[in-house]
Amino acid sequence: MSSQPNEVQGAKTRSLVVRLFKEHVRHHLGWLFFAVLLMIVVAASTASLAFLMETILDDVFTARDKTSLYIAASTVMGLFLLKGIATYGQTVIMSLVGQSILADLQKRMFDHLTRADLSFFHNHPTGGLIAHFINDVEKMRGTVAGVITAIGRDTLTLIFLVGVMFYQDWILTLASFFAFPTAIWPLVNIGKKMRKVSANTQKEIGLLTILLNEVFRDIRHVKSYGMEAHERGRASILIEQIFNLVFKAARTKAAAYPIMETLGGTAIVIVICYGGWQVIEGTRTTGTFFSFVTALLLAYDPVKKLVNLNAQLQEGLAASERVFRILNIEPTIVDSENARVIQRANGDISFNDLYFSYKKAAPILAGISMSIAAGETVALVGYSGAGKTTILNLLSRFFDPDSGSILLDNIDIRDIKITSLRNQVALVSQDISLFNDTIAANISYGSPNASPFEIASAAENAAAHNFISELPNGYDTIVGENGVKLSGGQRQRVAIARAMLKDAPVLLLDEATSSLDSESEKAVQNALFELMRNRTTIVIAHRLSTIQSADRIYVIEEGRIAESGCHIELLKRGGLYAKLHDIQFSAETEQMVDNNNRAQS
Over residues 29-45, the pLDDT tens digits come to 888 889 889 988 988 88
Which pLDDT score, from 0 to 100, does residue 254 have?
74
Most confident of 13-17, 110-114, 358-362: 110-114
**pLDDT greater than 70 at residue 238:** yes
Under a CB-based contact definition with an 8 Å cutoff, are residues 461 and 500 in contact?
Answer: yes
Ranges 93-97, 121-125, 282-286, 392-396: which has the least confidence: 282-286
- Confidence class for position 592, pLDDT limits 50, 70, 90: very low
Give pairs for 451-458: CB < 8 Å, separation 24+.
454/501, 455/497, 455/501, 458/497, 458/498, 458/500, 458/501
311, exposed or middle or buried, with CB in 10 Å at 0-12, 13-18, 19+?
buried
Q: Place 182 in a pLDDT band, splitting at 50, 70 and 90.
A: low
Confidence class for position 547, pLDDT limits 50, 70, 90 = confident
CA dist., res. 161 & res. 294, Å (int)? 9
Mean pLDDT of the 427-433 span = 81
Task: Give alpha helix (H) positions in 218-227.
Answer: 219-224
Least confident of 69-73, 346-350, 579-583: 69-73
Residue 353 confidence (pLDDT)? 93
Report the C-alpha gap between 164 and 295 in whole angstroms.
7
Q: Say whether pLDDT at 597 is over 60.
A: no
Residues contacting 136, CB < 8 A, separation 6+: 202, 319, 320, 322, 323
How far apart, in whole angstroms, are the C-alpha atoms of residue 152 and residue 91? 12
Instruction: Give the residue-averaged pLDDT of 348-369.
Output: 87
Q: What is the mean pLDDT of residues 505-533?
A: 74
Q: Show Cβ contacts of residue 567 under 8 Å, excluding neighbours closer than 6 positions.
A: 544, 547, 548, 549, 550, 553
For the cut 90, the answer to whether the pLDDT of residue 383 exceeds it is: no
Lowest mean pLDDT across 112-116, 295-299, 372-376: 295-299
pLDDT at 66: 73
Q: Which residue has the higher pLDDT, 536 or 103?
A: 536
Query: Percent of the chain at pLDDT above 70?
Result: 87
Kindly indicate the confidence band of residue 118, based on its pLDDT and cuts at 50, 70 and 90. Answer: confident
Q: Do residues 200 and 86 make contact, with C-beta atoms less than 8 angstroms apart?
A: no
- Is 55 within 8 Å of 286 (Cβ atoms)? no
Residue 468 has pLDDT above 80, yes or no: yes
What are the helix and strand counts (H, E) for the chain? 23, 10
- 159 CB burial (10 A radius; 0-12, 13-18, 19+): middle
Distance CA 312, CA 146 (A): 8
Q: Tell if the pTM clears 0.85, that is, is over it.
A: no
Nearest Cα to Cα of residue 564 among 573, 556, 574, 554: 554
Rg (CA), the chain: 36
Task: Look over the chain and give the mean of its residue pLDDT values, rounded to a whole number.
Answer: 80
**Does residue 298 surpass a pLDDT of 70?**
yes
- Residue 215's contacts (CB-CB under 8 Å, 6 or more residues apart) are 222, 231, 235
Q: Which helix (H) or strand (E) holds 589?
A: helix 576-600
pLDDT of residue 8: 45
What is the reported pLDDT for 350? 94
Q: How far is CA 492 from CA 9, 384, 488, 510, 529, in A?
A: 53, 22, 6, 12, 14
* 195 vs 114, residue with greater confidence: 114
Which strand (E) or helix (H) includes residue 368?
strand 365-372
Q: Which of 219-228, 232-241, 394-403, 495-504 has the highest mean pLDDT?
A: 394-403
Q: Say which residue, 37 or 266, is predicted with more confidence.
A: 37
* Residue type at position 282: G
Query: Which uninterrupted H or E stretch holds 301?
Result: helix 286-307
pLDDT at 10 > cutoff 60? no
* Positive/negative CA dihedral, 528, 534, 535, 537: positive
**In the chain, what percentage of residues exceed pLDDT 90?**
12
Is residue 129 pLDDT above 70, yes or no? yes
- Beta-sheet strand order (sheet of 536-540): 425-429, 506-510, 536-540, 377-381, 552-557, 560-565
Assign 193 a pLDDT band (cuts: 50, 70, 90). confident
Which of the four pLDDT bands, split at 50, 70 and 90, describes residue 180? low
Mean pLDDT confidence for 229-252? 84
Q: How far is CA 485 from the centre of its chain?
A: 27
